[in-house]
Amino acid sequence: MDKHELKARSKFLSYLLRHRPGALNLTMDAQGWVPVSQIIKNSDQRISKAQITEIVRSNAKQRFELSADGSKIRANQGHSILVDLELEPQAPPATLFHGTAEESVEQIRALGLIKGTRQHVHLSPDSETAHKVGQRHGRPVVLRVKSGQMHAAGHLFFLSKNGVWLCDHVAPEFLE
């Protein structure tokens, strides 16, 4: 599978597993798992088990995981649908980072970071990753999040399996 095809199929899986499992009448459990065989069957063979395995293995952002027996797949984070990823609250590092577009900074300064249609606000463990995320939306700006202070104030943080820190909201006073 070439890079272009791999990327297109990865986006297809993201769409299904993070946002619209109903688009292919997929049966998703409460933890976000979907049978691989159902994706293959319901997509009229547009994607194979070998391709799904390759996408999971090669995805640099580790967006997906396969069950231990390889029969089910789920997205690790980024859902706009209600999914229980079975994540336990964790103490974050003192500082986390959020990449955004320059045009969004004024609104973020007023409202903080909000999750919008997603289940969580996504935070990066380093400024380089946040910079890459911000580039997807325009001229990037990296914001520093006082996550240690937030945690001390009672805010919950979760660490997804692919290293993305998650929380419900970041108020403006915790941003630099």
pTM here? 0.81
H helices of 64-173, in order, are 105-111, 127-135, 147-152
The CA-to-CA distance between both ends of the chain, in Å, stands at 42
Residue located via tokens 């004024």:
106
- DSSP secondary-structure letter at 47? S
The CATH number for 3-75, chosen from 3.40.50.1360, 3.40.50.2000, 3.30.870.10, 1.10.10.970, is 1.10.10.970
pLDDT per residue as tens digits for the range 87-127: 999 999 999 999 999 999 999 999 999 998 889 999 999 99
Between CA 77 and CA 163 the distance in angstroms is 10
Q: For the chain, what are the domain ranges?
A: 3-75, 96-174
148 neighbors 95 (Cβ within 8 angstroms):
yes
pLDDT tens, position by position, 55-99: 999 988 889 999 999 999 999 988 889 999 899 999 999 999 999
CATH for 96-174 (3.40.1000.10, 3.40.50.300, 3.20.170.30, 1.10.10.10): 3.20.170.30
